[in-house]
Structure 1
């Protein structure tokens, strides 16, 4: 049989391009040929057909030049010498660090930081700032109250479409999407953005400062993938829920606690993890778990697909007590003080405002009965929205990463699976403190996150002699010490500790440093 002649593909955008591709994508030549030539090898034809199509598509693709998105340009103008509430760190340092953290989300986010002394310089620096303002997408004004600076901003920011002011003169007007935002605004989208940004700023932490800027970028510049968590996709969401989860929805609505959880979540911005997780931790229960398991985890009715963040890259520790770190020893470092104490570690401070700020955090790491099984159970208190103190506990499955001191965690938390990548950044030789970093995502809930926890055996801060080493470990995570939340470890009576009978603890190290020994801990 003669070979089927193929016409060379036309360039993208020409009239012949689409019909040519459609001939091979939409029709089924295999069935046609088989009908008239039963002896033809269908498999070989199918392979040739697919190869041809792939080559055609590759040719098409190679002729297209994708234009990279233009950078999002931000300028932060801060009051000279003004101090933030983040452990009295200067606002200039806070915003410079925020500029670096924006790059973790998208390398195309460029924020320049200036103090307002520059506006009175009357030299080239002020002219350069004026030129930058003419090209910026967002102007962020923080703690600027000097009248000369305020007048300068009013005069030189008229062409800036988005200007947001925090803790600054009331004479400075916020502007979003080119429209001044007054005290009364009937635009629903603007109102929601202003509320979300205002609520986040009031929480006074580095994650939420960055979050404020991402919300504005997402609403007025271009979509931010990590914020693409819409509460509903309209009819498709409703149809999915009713079709698949009717009993779970009804049970939740009839249960007072579950109903409160839904009402609470409905009041949160759909991209606000801090607000959302506090609602969940306050009102969790079997009906809410069943609702989430069906609507989100099993059927993904919100059609979300969050990914584990890749940045920042955090290098794991490579040696312990002068010896190269192996997987067994790394697991032992997690097991920590368990056996000597009733827990592995207690959390002193954490970096993530949604997950690390809970009081009385105990960590339980242990080996299971199976040869390679390893488990992590955090036990912590939650001060609910009704001002009650309650204990909560989770159970993570832990698998070794490719490199010692890296691990993959997985947990079913209130009906939704979260997957996390943990790194042991550093642990002191005497096990007096450790620093663990994590990247994670609850895929079907649309939540991606990062964080770190500083741990010690008794919940007290590491000694002054360890300060330099601790700061070095934090630097590896891209974290400043002033970003950490101190965990309230004052009222921690009767924590629900304990591990399953038959669990195993250390395999290679002992709690007391014994450099020349690898005896098992007893």
Structure 2
């Protein structure tokens, strides 16, 4: 999808089209099916239905997540579910349990399935396993079968769903029934689950399960912002931001951003942020600033997620970490190189996916100020054009050395983040930084981690793998969750200039780091 020229002709907008584009202005607020059961549970007060999930995984099956075993992926997803609610239970079993002569194991699996309200079947193809699932399917009201035998039947809210395979999308056709409202809601849920699953990452797999929980068991607080506010939102927008709305819809680039956002599925932060970064403009910033930041027309207010809680590095080169040294670690190679760090890999595809990422950390001209500037490339969604983007964060020290508060106005919306230095090698050959963030008035929260090095190359496997894996574990991240950033030759001539009067290191000797690296 190439960017349109500013001189491109703008077609007249009918109100229906304008309203559809307006509803896409905030990526995560869309129409969302809320089942009667979940709504009723919310009105009952403290009595919350238990969430019990069973995952049945094909023995020896391999996932698209860097070829990690599906069994490991689902176990990791079960841990991440606890970040949302400690009461959520998810048991993971291999589908070959019946092959063992241990009746206790088979009995346990059967009992867990019978008491569950969600059964997720992943990569199960053996005839024996299919027969077992078919014999026990009536115990579970919600069954989703992914990348599994076509003989398996799916259910949502007790309603049988006919499967029709189109690629990996198994939720494309529903059996017609007289319950049209329920049918429509199930179709909405099924489509959202299918699209999220096809993105193949742990966060979206968890999102699939949360969608089912939210629709059929009990409301999920973290998903409440996916529901449109309706007429009150449009009334607020038109009352307070009429000029900004008209300017955006009349401009080809700003309008292109809204059109791009309207194609993103619920919860797809990758699609949402790519649209915003690809088609950002002063008019889009003014639109978001008025609708969201100044008038909060969506009535949203979210906090930075508390989990996972990640402890910072405690010391560096034999010395206990202090605030000054922690800042020096972020400043990194700046001064010897034109940048502090380059991003090698990331865990959150929405924010870490962009090619050619450079980080510049420096102390400001005014005493006590510290800044981070992120420079990266954005490619239009069809890959036809690239351009550089630059973000400037205000950075404040946290209560503990190694933890920092970041804030930025990003395309009209204030974003707050907590960054933690998890580990930095003594020779500054690599570092791992974890972050948690929230765009409060957009109702958006996120977390992730970036692996950095001076040259954008992955740390040497033999020397650093064990230490890196340990650092990732402290972030509750598996190495197979990481994806590599494209740092190829197109990263030439990045805009890396620094402001006058800035200062760099206080305690850390970067020349010592260069000598250490030269000896390796």
Q: TM-score, normalised by structure 1?
A: 0.84
Could you tell me how far apart the structure 2 residues matched to 1:164 and 1:137 are?
11
- 1:478 and 2:471 are equivalent in the alignment: no
Could you tell me how far apart the structure 1 residues matched to 2:443 and 2:129 are?
41
| CA displacement 1:381-416 (0-9 Å, x = unmatched) | 122223222221111100000000000000111111
Who is 2:491 aligned against? 492
1:79-158 correspondence runs (5 A) = 79-121=58-100, 123-158=103-138
Count of aligned pairs? 451
Could you tell me how far apart the structure 1 residues matched to 2:187 and 2:380 are?
27
Could you tell me how far apart the structure 1 residues matched to 2:117 and 2:296 are?
35
- 1:220 and 2:199 are equivalent in the alignment: no
Q: Which of the numbers 418, 421, 428 marks the counterpart of 1:421?
A: 418
Offset at 1:206? Answer: 1.4
Could you tell me how far apart the structure 1 residues matched to 2:350 and 2:65 are?
17
Offset at 1:137? Answer: 1.4
Q: Which of the numbers 406, 409, 426 marks the counterpart of 1:409?
A: 406
Who is 1:35 aligned against? none
Offset at 1:110? Answer: 0.7
1:422-501 correspondence runs (5 A) = 422-464=419-461, 465-490=463-488, 491-501=490-500
Q: Which of the numbers 185, 204, 208 marks the counterpart of 1:208?
A: 204
The higher-RCO structure (CA 8 Å, 6+ apart) is 2
Who is 1:184 aligned against? 173
Contact 2:48/2:218 (8 A) holds in 1: no
The alignment partner of 1:496 has SS state of coil
Offset at 1:370? Answer: 0.9
The alignment partner of 1:277 has SS state of helix
Q: Which of the numbers 119, 141, 148 marks the counterpart of 1:168?
A: 148
Offset at 1:121? Answer: 4.0
Could you tell me how far apart the structure 1 residues matched to 2:475 and 2:47 are?
29
Contact 1:119/1:152 (8 A) holds in 2: no
Could you tell me how far apart the structure 1 residues matched to 2:507 and 2:98 are?
61
- 1:240 and 2:236 are equivalent in the alignment: yes
CA RMSD of the aligned region, Å? 1.8
Offset at 1:272? Answer: 2.5
Q: Which of the numbers 316, 322, 325 marks the counterpart of 1:320?
A: 316
Q: TM-score, normalised by structure 2?
A: 0.84
**5+ long unaligned stretches in structure 1:** 1-64, 515-522
The alignment partner of 1:474 has SS state of helix
Could you tell me how far apart the structure 1 residues matched to 2:498 and 2:193 are?
42
- 1:356 and 2:336 are equivalent in the alignment: no
Q: Report which of the two structures shows the higher radius of gyration computed on alpha carbons.
A: 1
Who is 2:369 aligned against? 373
**5+ long unaligned stretches in structure 2:** 1-43, 163-171, 175-179, 514-520
Contact 1:281/1:384 (8 A) holds in 2: no
Contact 1:380/1:393 (8 A) holds in 2: yes
Could you tell me how far apart the structure 2 residues matched to 1:386 and 1:81 are?
36
The alignment partner of 1:310 has SS state of coil
The alignment partner of 2:394 has SS state of strand
